[in-house]
Amino acid sequence: MRAVVQRVLSAKVTVDDRTVGEIGQGLLVLVGVEQGDGPADVEYIARKIRELRVFEDEARHLNRSVQDVGGSVLVVSQFTLAADCRKGRRPSFDEAAPPRIAKPLYEDVVRELQANGLKVATGEFQAMMLVSLVNDGPVTLLLDSRKRF
């Protein structure tokens, strides 16, 4: 499972001109589920999102988590994170989990974050979404449950 985590002042997702998820200060997280992902991947990604110290303390050091600052998380499914772009010009999505597997794991990430007290908003699985954000910093981090990077 892969995730792109962005520290934001605000973010929202719209589908067909309706807002489906919106947050103020917090994290925008794009999640891609890969073939072979399971509960351990969900736990790893959710724990990292919860515990990453990417917000500044009084000394301006990145020393606070989204929980510490009372922030929210906007979680958006994005299968293209599983793309392999190493060969040719067209990305290969062979490693992306099919929707019947990806959707429950994506929803498990959301539930895991909520179960730990975070306010969580979401996009809409398999929809064409418009994601807008005000990136704070900018701070953008890549997570991979298989620790390939």
Predicted confidence at residue 15, as pLDDT, reads 98
Domains in the chain: how many in total?
1
In this predicted model, what pLDDT tens digit does every residue of 21-58 receive, in sequence order? 999 999 999 999 999 999 999 999 999 999 999 999 99
Catalytic site positions: 78-80
What is the widest separation between alpha-carbon atoms in the chain?
48
Does residue 112 lie within any of the structural domains? yes
CATH code for the domain of 13: 3.50.80.10
Which has more pLDDT, 148 or 2? Answer: 2
Does residue 111 lie within any of the structural domains? yes
Does residue 149 lie within any of the structural domains? no
Predicted confidence at residue 49, as pLDDT, reads 98
> Token pair for residue 78?
């994005």
The yes-or-no verdict on residue 149 having pLDDT over 80 is no
Region for residue 103 given its phi and psi (left: phi exceeds 0; alpha: psi -120 to 50; beta: otherwise): alpha
Does residue 131 lie within any of the structural domains? yes
Does residue 148 lie within any of the structural domains? no
Predicted confidence at residue 12, as pLDDT, reads 98
Does residue 36 lie within any of the structural domains? yes
Average pLDDT, the chain: 97
Domain span including residue 91: 2-143
Q: CA 149, CA 131: separation in Å to the nearest integer?
A: 25
For residue 99, say if its preceding peptide bond is cis, omega within 30 degrees of 0.
no
Name every residue whose Cβ is closer than 8 Å to that of residue 60 and which is 6 or more positions away in sequence.
none
